[in-house]
Amino acid sequence: MSQSSTSKPQRGTLLTIALVLVILHGMFMTAVYWTTLGNMGREAASWVLPVMVLASLASVIAGAAMWFWKKWGIYLYFLAAVITTVVTLIITGSLYMVFAGLIPMIIVLYIIYPHLKHFD
């Protein structure tokens, strides 16, 4: 075996910060959704609360998976961001929320892109 195949890939500062923010944001949003969306109307809370809590938990899991260089974490993070954005768009009706939901994901994926060869 060659030395390069057994050595751990180096995670740069920018990638480290991005992944830490993904995890912290997911944890924060899980807490926010869990505590505040329960105050919504019964119809909205019946489906919004579980979907948003699951999407934010998926984001935390995805961040941890990406930390350990798992490619499925990238796909899970993408899926969680899209689900969160769609639900937010349905609730608010604002197209600005699409950009607010997808731009952070696009930035994180842009940071990850040069490191894709390290993901398995």
Tokens of 4: 């390069």
Q: What is the pLDDT of residue 38?
A: 57
Q: What is the pLDDT of residue 64?
A: 95
Q: What is the pLDDT of residue 2?
A: 44
pTM, to two decimals: 0.81
Handedness of CA 85, 89, 91, 94 (dihedral sign): positive
d(CA 36, CA 74): 28
* pLDDT tens digits in sequence order for the chain, 120 residues long: 444 455 678 888 999 999 999 999 888 887 877 776 656 555 556 777 888 889 999 999 999 999 999 999 999 999 999 998 898 888 778 888 888 888 889 999 999 999 999 998
Tokens of 80: 């969680």
Q: What is the pLDDT of residue 3?
A: 44
At residue 65, the 3 state secondary structure works out as: helix
Question: What are the φ and ψ backbone dihedral angles of 68, each rounded to 5 degrees?
Answer: -95, 20
* Own/partner pairs, 38-46, CB within 8 angstroms, 24+ separation: 44/91
Scanning the chain, the segments in alpha helix (DSSP H) are: 3-6, 13-36, 42-67, 71-92, 96-112
